[in-house]
Structure 1
């Protein structure tokens, strides 16, 4: 894995870099993460706090008495999770990295909230965005090209 990796929000207002290897990567299924992200699970990777450098300070949501979450108030991107007290590490959302492909999940957390129908999707039909002509047409009409 790369020595330094970068990421940020969808609109680009919040950017960060991390240095070194992550401590772990996992899928969280707890109800708090489900509600905070609007998803059945969220992929996190954990880094020591000193390994994370915010180019622009993110907005913070106090999601519970024990935790807070960095996010972008402009585009709404969820960027991570951090315990409020005595935290020496932070979880960053895998999908907010410019290249999320190096991370591989090692375990599930919050297993009581697992939505089993969404875990093993092997065998379901797969569709590419660039092959969905109605979407391509909307992009071309709005911007003159399809992103990617």
Structure 2
């Protein structure tokens, strides 16, 4: 598989395309990623920097002395993790237009992993499009539900 995929931030200000050779991705549980993303883990897929074409460059935050993170300053979407001296970078899986195509192949930063969040399949499921007050808010505001 060698395919060009697209993605971007929530508001659409920053878009990208990237040549992808695999559906492999991974979950990072390190404390730096947890704090940067504001979640218990983040799903990343690794790509060559040269293969990423930006509609506009994301803003970058020097998140440590050895790495930076790309994001949209308008909506706050996290887009990348990068070592400046590497030819590779990580793109957040959820920022892709088709995030469901990727499959996790490993965990990283497991010393900070929150085990209770790994297997949640026995928890009850609730659909956003069947939550009446939420649907009413969207319908009153937009007349439709968002993607």
Does TM, normalized by the shorter one, top 0.5? yes
**Which bin holds the TM-score, normalised by the shorter protein?**
over 0.9
Residue 112 of structure 1 pairs with residue 111 of structure 2: yes
Give the equivalent residue in structure 2 for 1:141: 140
Superposed CA deviations along residues 85-136 of structure 1, whole A, max 9, x for unmatched, are: x211000000000011111000000001100110110111111110101100
**Residue aligning to 1:40:** 40
Structure 1 residue 74 corresponds to structure 2 residue 74: yes
Q: Contact 1:22–1:46 (CA<8 Å) still a contact in 2?
A: no
Note the C-alpha offset of 1:23. Answer: 8.1
Equivalences for residues 89-108 of structure 1 within 5 A = 89-108=88-107
Correspondence for 1:13: 13
TM-score by length of 2: 0.96
Distance 2:143 2:14 in 1: 26
Whether the 8 Å contact between 2:42 and 2:92 is mirrored in structure 1 is yes
Structure 1 residues without counterparts, runs of 5 or longer = none
Match of 1:43, SS? strand
Q: CA RMSD in A?
A: 1.3
The residue number in structure 1 matching 2:61 is 61
Structure 1-normalised TM-score?
Answer: 0.95
Q: Is the 8 A contact 1:23 1:46 kept in 2?
A: no
The structure whose residues are more often strand, as a share, is: 2
Structure 2: runs of 5+ lacking an equivalent: none
- C-alpha distance in 1 between matches for 2:71 and 2:64: 15
Change (3 A) 1:39 1:26: same
For the Cα contact (< 8 Å) 1:22–1:47, is it kept in 2? no
How many residues end up aligned between the 2 structures?
147
